[in-house]
Chains A and B, each alone.
Chain A
Amino acid sequence: MSYTPKMNEFIQAVEATRQKRYDERHARLSPEEKQQLLEDFHPDYRPDTMRPIKVGVSKGSVMPHELVDVLESRSRLDSDKFPLNKIDYDVDVLIIGGGGAGSSAALMAHAEGANVLLATKLRLGDANTMMAQGGIQAADKANDSPNLHYLDVMGGGGFANKPELVKALVHDAPLVIKWLEDLGCMFDKESDGTMVTQHGGGTCRKRMHAARDYSGAEIMRTLRDEVRNREIPVLEFSPAVELLSDGEYACRGAVLMNLETKEFFVVRAKTVVISTGGFGRLHIDDFPTTNHYGATADGLVMAYRLGGRLVFLDATQFHPTGAAYPEQIVGLLITEKVRGLGAQLVNIHGEQFVYPLETRDAVSSAIIRECLDRKKGIVTETGQHGVWLDSPMIERIHGEGTILRSLPAMYRQYARFGIDMRKTPILVFPTLHYQNGGVDIRDDTSVTTVENLFVAGETSGGVHGRNRLMGNSLLDVVVFGRRAGMAGAERARHVKPGALSLAHVSRYHKELEDAGLVTDKVSPILLPPYARYQSVPGADPAV
């Protein structure tokens, strides 16, 4: 699947200007220009991408349309008729979601002696955790401290982060690296055992730990193996579709659905941990995404119906350079290092249109402007927009062999599809990467507005403020997953099981009706509608 003849024609324009661009430095944006660019083109700033939600505890908060759509949908369950008298599973701690956070929570709750059940929508380990390549931050070197890590997290988040959560994140970071090392997670090390650490965007110390470029996969498969070794009960292909309550604002379990047979199961639990990940597969503003198939905001929907407050959900992280071609890898991340080494962003005429190392939000906006407003981008045969990232410039600047030496994984990724990025540019477009906000929690992951409910990982909000730094999401899922497991098990010791209720769902449905929101849409949607006959426009470039 190398470039088509048509694409090769476009590439000639890039080659024609390479010599000229070699000597050219594109002007940086002035603060005013940058602000205007963001306001005009960044999805977070454009009022047409969001609206205030009309119901629930965060009523009036502005969030992306695609999220509000699923929040303003009805439950799969008829709350007046659904039978709750037969309890299928009776446990101390129910964990919903089997990624890095859920698996960490399961291991810790189990170690605390709790009777644990982990239910997950797809397979154990099917999560964004598995896909994280870059690494995991922790201040464990002599020249570093949790305090410096704290400053980096706050600065990256626009100083809007919830301080108690940032403190927990940086405090626990070395503890979780040690925990993972003890579990047999193969971090990159020097021959004397010293961790190999690098910088990430916005770090003041080299504290990015990695396991080659499979960091998340290595952490996830280690945690998964350990969950299996401890024989913790796991129900795969069994997403939760609704939480159960005491009728007010305390959680008492959940209803699961067998994804294949559609059979429902009632779980009574003293405490519940939600670790279902983010909303990438809702394709906010029709963007492609780096996210896992299962990232459909299920946890946000269920927690919100029971009264969980949502914060920072108007801040979505778009990475400026996602792959736009070939079709097989659309949306996948192209590391910032490619621009760091000198690759320029170039339009259909072979012209630069933005300084390549502006902040991520500004570069994303400039690419969107070039494609959608100025119409100077490329449109592929599958309808995907993109601009060129002129990777051959890297070898022009630093000499032949630089790409194989510095970007081997990236090189292999393209070589697999017959594209030699040393010789031809690659096509990129911004990609939806991370849900910065989520359910409001305390530093033990307990939800501020619901009893006996805990939320960990991307489903929660506050720790990253308005913008997460690289290497802090793997950290987030393990730190807060562990805390959720411990707090959930501890709290379960003090909870007496009581009658199960879906009254909170009836209450929510009534609110929808009172707000004039009459709909037959149901949520959580569980799976994105990619099969051809159910597709939403723009959700999948294949259609």
Chain B
Amino acid sequence: MEKEKVRIFIMGKAYEVPKGLTIMKAMEHAGYQFIRGCGCRGGFCGACGTVYRMPGDYRLMVGLACQTVVEDGMYLTQIPVFPANKATYDVEKLRPGLSDIIKLYPELTRCLGCNTCTKACPQDLDVMNYMAAAMRGDIERAADMSFDCLMCGLCAARCPAETVQYNIAILIRRLYARHVAPRAKHLASRVGEILDGAFDRSLDEMTEFTRAELETLYNQRDIEPE
């Protein structure tokens, strides 16, 4: 059975590819072997940010190549890497507020409120508004709203104020988790026991058990209810 084909333009060059393929698989069908622009192939890693335009439409669209299906006339190019600014810092020594964020990323305040970043996000995050939360110093909200960020870089690539939303977002999430979210007390207490050697002897003994002894213990263990 002859498969239905669509015509796409990869970096300006036309290819006929089977309908229904993702941009990633269409490019492979066209003969490309990816070095850049391909990662997890499952929508988690942000390696395959792609910009495209449809015929008769002036607007630039964005998508992940592994999650976006080719359409007839699609004119596309990948943005596998973007030379974005990344501040370096010791998260432990920072304070979770606006002043430390602005010291590291002064360009944060240049935001024009144009919402281009939100339109560019393949995860459909409300990028402009998490940046707005950041500018209010609302660390918790900015961390929560930016959580699903894959750091593909498309927001920064399109930003007229040249801010790097995704790098600011990870700083904020780390600040939130390190300094704002309450610590797990049960974790600290178990770590204390382990460092005191509380389990050393019993674990050593278990490594000496025969298979039959282990099986008996395994079958006798009680299961915590759902």
Contact = CB atoms under 8 A, between A and B. Distances in A.
B221 A148 contact: yes
B181 A193 contact: yes
A217 B150 contact: yes
Contact of B185 (A171, A186, A194, A216): A194
Given A140-B190, A154-B218, A193-B184, A531 B28 contact: yes
Contacts of A237: 35-36
B44 A217 contact: yes
Interface in B29-58: 29-36, 38-42, 44-45, 47
A195 interface: yes
Nearest to B150: A217
Interface in B48-103: 66-67, 69, 81, 86, 88-92
B11 interface: no
Contacts of A247: none
A189 B181 contact: yes
Contacts of A191: 182
A526 B148 CA distance: 29
Contacts of A145: 199
Interface in B187-226: 187-188, 190-191, 194-195, 199, 202-204, 206-208, 211, 214-215, 217-218, 221-224, 226
Contacts of B171: 225
A518 interface: no
B47 A126 contact: yes
A83 to B, nearest CB: 25
Interface string A172-188: 00110110011111110
Contact of B223 (A194, A204, A214): A204
Nearest to A154: B214
Contact of A174 (B3, B40, B194): B194
B178 interface: yes
A182 B40 contact: no
Contacts of B177: 181, 184-187
B225 to A, nearest CB: 9
Given A146-B194, A534-B33, A140 B186 contact: yes
Contacts of B215: 155, 159
A1 interface: yes
B28 A130 contact: no
Interface size band for A:
35 or more
A159 B31 CA distance: 46
A292 B182 contact: no
A542 B202 CA distance: 52
Contacts of B151: 221
A237 B34 CA distance: 12
Interface stretch (B17-25, B110-118, B155-163): B17-25
A195 B185 CA distance: 9
A162 to B, nearest CB: 9
Interface residues of B, number: 75
A543 B29 contact: yes
A292 B39 contact: yes
Nearest to A214: B148
B67 A416 contact: yes
A259 B35 contact: yes
Contact of A130 (B22, B34, B45): B45
Contact of A184 (B69, B147, B174): B174
Contact of B69 (A225, A328, A332): A328
Contacts of B21: 327, 542
B178 A527 contact: no
B174 A192 contact: no
Contacts of B170: 221-222, 225
Contact of A131 (B31, B40, B175): B40
A360 interface: no
A292 B25 CA distance: 15
A329 interface: yes
B186 A205 contact: no
A82 interface: no
Interface string A377-409: 000011000000000000000000000000000
A167 interface: yes
A205 B225 CA distance: 8
B43 to A, nearest CB: 8
Contact of A329 (B42, B47, B182): B42
Interface string B132-161: 000000000001000110110000000000
B169 to A, nearest CB: 10
A527 B35 CA distance: 8
B119 interface: no
B194 A171 contact: yes
A130 B33 CA distance: 22
Interface in A100-144: 122-123, 125-126, 128, 130-131, 139-143
A360 to B, nearest CB: 18
A181 B40 contact: no
Contacts of B203: 146-147, 150, 167, 170-171
5 contacts: A163-B207, A193-B181, A199-B224, A212-B147, A531-B31
Interface of B: 3, 18, 20-22, 25, 28-36, 38-42, 44-45, 47, 66-67, 69, 81, 86, 88-92, 143, 147-148, 150-151, 170-171, 173-178, 181-188, 190-191, 194-195, 199, 202-204, 206-208, 211, 214-215, 217-218, 221-224, 226
Closest 9 CB pairs of A and B: A184-B174, A193-B182, A184-B178, A163-B207, A542-B25, A531-B33, A186-B177, A155-B218, A184-B177
Given A186-B177, A194-B184, A225-B174, 14 more contacts: A1-B20, A123-B39, A151-B214, A151-B221, A171-B203, A174-B187, A178-B187, A189-B181, A195-B186, A205-B224, A206-B224, A259-B35, A327-B21, A332-B42
